[in-house]
Amino acid sequence: MLERAQDAPPGVDAVKAIGTVSKDDYEAVIEPLLDEARREGRRIRLLWECGPEFRSYTPAAGWEELKVGVGAMRLFEGCAVVSDVRWIRESTRLASFLMPCPVRVYGCADREEALRWLTSLPEGPGVSHQLRSEAGVVVIEVDQPLRVQDFDALAQTVDNWLDTHDALDGVVVHARAFPGWENIKGLLRHVRFVRDHHRRVKRIALAADSRFAELAPHFANHFVRAEVPRFEYTELEDAVAWASGPPGRDPAATAPDTSAAD
């Protein structure tokens, strides 16, 4: 079986393998963990522990692990495997070069060191995002220079939505100022994300301070099929309401009427 440990520090998800691990265990523990991370727009720092209580994986569990891992690689920010089982340690080291995040292997006696390493990883992304499924809108919060990982996580969320929908109704970018990109790789990943998704996004809105207004043409040029109005930073909910509405809707129609009665 698999169980989520409750003693992990904030920002770390810890999973412990006990006895024989089956396909059902992945469906009951790992898939909800991944879904939770997607909903919250966060990356996963995972501690995977196979202690003395662990015996084996069923063949179906091995296939499920591969399937889940390939589909969720972009969600991971770091992974620490804690085990004294030789084949687990060696196979993890061999597979680590395929992972898009750092992976380390620790002995069972070094579990606390593994947790410290996970918590010491660089702070989270410059972009966090939330899918408001009832509105069909993704809200993107921009705080720090944009990284490759930000667009990988965003693409995971958007692609999951597009698997069951023809399009995403809207994207709302919420930022006080545009911080740029962490490096050239971040810029190139941004371009690739736009290239792969802009035809299936109906509307883009900016909820931003005036200092960020100059970014609107930049977004408009990329999302050529989308309308791109700007709202004030404090008008986030108005921007979401507009982005979830029918095409051609006047952005001014979402703003509350603050004029005094005659």
Q: What is the pLDDT of residues 16-26, one digit of tens each?
A: 999 988 888 88
DSSP string covering 108-148, please?
Answer: GGGHHHHHHHHHHSPP--SEEEEEETTTTEEEEEE-S-B-H
- Check residue 261 and give its pLDDT: 41
Question: Sorting pLDDT into bands at 50, 70 and 90, what band is 106?
Answer: very high
Among 3.40.50.10600, 3.30.930.10, 3.50.50.60, 3.40.50.920, what is the CATH number of 2-120? Answer: 3.40.50.10600
Choose among 117, 218, 129: nearest CA to 172: 129
Q: Domains of the chain: which residue ranges?
A: 2-120, 127-254
pLDDT surpassing 60 at residue 218: no
The string of DSSP codes covering 46-66 is: EEEEEEEEEEEE-HHHHHHHH
Range 78-104 average pLDDT: 84
Write down the pLDDT at residue 258: 39
Q: 127-254: what CATH class?
A: alpha beta
pTM over the 0.85 mark: no
